[in-house]
């Protein structure tokens, strides 16, 4: 499993999503009160991510 989404609970007992590639965390979301909201975040990233604009502020 080279890459995957992971739903976990943080120290504040909120649900968060992180995306891992080769065991390295590439990004993590804000905290969500429910697991369903965390799953909705994953669904949104999958749906909207491929067409997302790239903004280079360097």
Q: Look at residue 2 in the predicted model and tell me its pLDDT.
A: 87
Average pLDDT over residues 6-25: 96
Q: Look at residue 38 in the predicted model and tell me its pLDDT.
A: 98
Average pLDDT over residues 6-15: 97
Q: Tell me the C-alpha distance between 25 and 44, whole Å.
A: 19
Structure tokens at 8: 């976990």
For the chain, counts of helices (H) and of strands (E)? 1, 3
57 part of a folded domain? no
Strands 3-9 and 24-28: unpaired
Contact call for residues 16 and 28 (beta carbons, < 8 A): yes
35 part of a folded domain? yes
CATH of the domain at 21: 3.30.160.160
Dump pLDDT digits (tens) for 23-54: 899 999 999 999 999 999 999 999 999 999 99
Q: Look at residue 55 in the predicted model and tell me its pLDDT.
A: 96
40 part of a folded domain? yes
27 part of a folded domain? yes
Is the pLDDT score of 1 beyond 80? no
19 part of a folded domain? yes
Domain span holding position 36: 3-47
Contact call for residues 22 and 2 (beta carbons, < 8 A): yes
């Amino acid at each position: 499993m080279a890459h995957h989404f992971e739903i976990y609970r943080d120290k504040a007992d909120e649900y968060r999503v992180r995306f891992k590639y080769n065991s390295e965390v590439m990004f993590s979301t804000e905290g969500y009160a429910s697991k369903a909201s965390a799953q909705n975040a994953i669904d949104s990233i999958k749906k909207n991510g491929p067409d997302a604009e790239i903004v280079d502020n360097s």
